[in-house]
């Protein structure tokens, strides 16, 4: 297992949509394990494969609090088939360190996905888990949290992140 580098906005690879996973062999298992390790090391509640520069439809989530036992959930080739209600949540993203913004998403979702071995499952989620699923699922389509914000906020975050990236490259 290895901790991978998490890409930060405005890295263009974050905009590359993921392709479906069809081979659940050792290479994929290693990727999955690296994803989990990288998410826990960050630490974060979710991580999508495009965030480590691997354009496949895979994300991991663990919404357990720091005083609760960890509960790793993996979603491969997910499809949100139903989304109802509205919920406003203060969201962050490992690709936008230091940024949190209120974003409105569906309150409950039904997702069809496969587990790490390719076995299909259906999950109904609400609250933070539903938010995390929608956020990570966006990453698989190259969509980012800023895309949900108004023009002004989006521009401010874009400018701050570009400045930070430029400073890091000095
Ligand atoms: Ni994110």
Distance (Å) from CA 85 to ligand 1 centroid: 22
Q: What is the rounded distance in angstroms from the CA atom of residue 157 to the CA atom of residue 42?
A: 21
Instruction: Tokens for 6, please give them.
Output: 């998490």
Catalytic (active site) residue 136: yes
Q: Write down the pLDDT at residue 168.
A: 85
Residue 3 lies in a domain: no
Alpha-helical runs (H) found in the chain:
26-41, 127-140, 151-168
pLDDT single digits (tens) 65-97: 888 999 999 999 999 999 999 999 999 999 999
Distance (Å) from CA 140 to ligand 1 centroid: 10
48 with 34: CB under 8 angstroms?
no
Distance (Å) from CA 168 to ligand 1 centroid: 20
Residue 7 lies in a domain: no
Residue 79 lies in a domain: yes
Residue 6 lies in a domain: no
> CATH number of the domain that 138 lies in?
3.90.45.10
Q: Residue 36 pLDDT more than 80?
A: yes
Residue 32 lies in a domain: yes
Residue 87 lies in a domain: yes
- Does this model's pTM top 0.85? My answer is yes
Residue 136 lies in a domain: yes
Instruction: Tokens for 121, please give them.
Output: 């499952």
Give the domain extent around 22.
12-168
Distance (Å) from CA 45 to ligand 1 centroid: 9
pLDDT single digits (tens) 106-119: 999 999 999 999 99
Q: Residue 1 pLDDT more than 90?
A: no
What percentage of residues in the chain have a pLDDT greater than 90?
A: 94
Structural domain tally of the chain? Answer: 1
Residue 31 lies in a domain: yes
Instruction: From the candidates 37, 101, 124, 136, give the one annotated as an active-site residue.
Output: 136
Distance (Å) from CA 46 to ligand 1 centroid: 7
């Amino acid at each position: 297992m290895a901790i991978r580098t998490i890409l930060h906005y405005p890295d263009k690879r974050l905009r590359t949509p993921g392709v479906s996973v069809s081979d659940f062999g050792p290479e994929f298992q290693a990727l999955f394990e690296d994803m989990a390790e990288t998410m826990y090391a960050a630490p974060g509640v979710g991580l999508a494969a495009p965030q480590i520069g691997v354009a496949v439809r895979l994300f991991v989530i663990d919404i357990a609090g720091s005083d609760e036992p960890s509960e790793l959930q993996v979603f491969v080739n997910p499809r949100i088939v139903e989304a109802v209600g509205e919920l406003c949540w203060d969201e962050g993203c490992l690709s936008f360190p230091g940024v949190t913004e209120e974003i409105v998403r569906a309150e409950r979702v039904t997702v069809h996905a496969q587990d790490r071995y390719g076995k299909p499952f259906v999950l109904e989620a609400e609250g933070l888990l539903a938010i995390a699923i929608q956020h990570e699922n966006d990453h698989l389509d190259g969509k980012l949290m800023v895309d949900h914000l108004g023009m002004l906020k989006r521009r401010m975050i874009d400018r701050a992140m570009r400045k930070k990236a430029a400073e890091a490259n000095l």
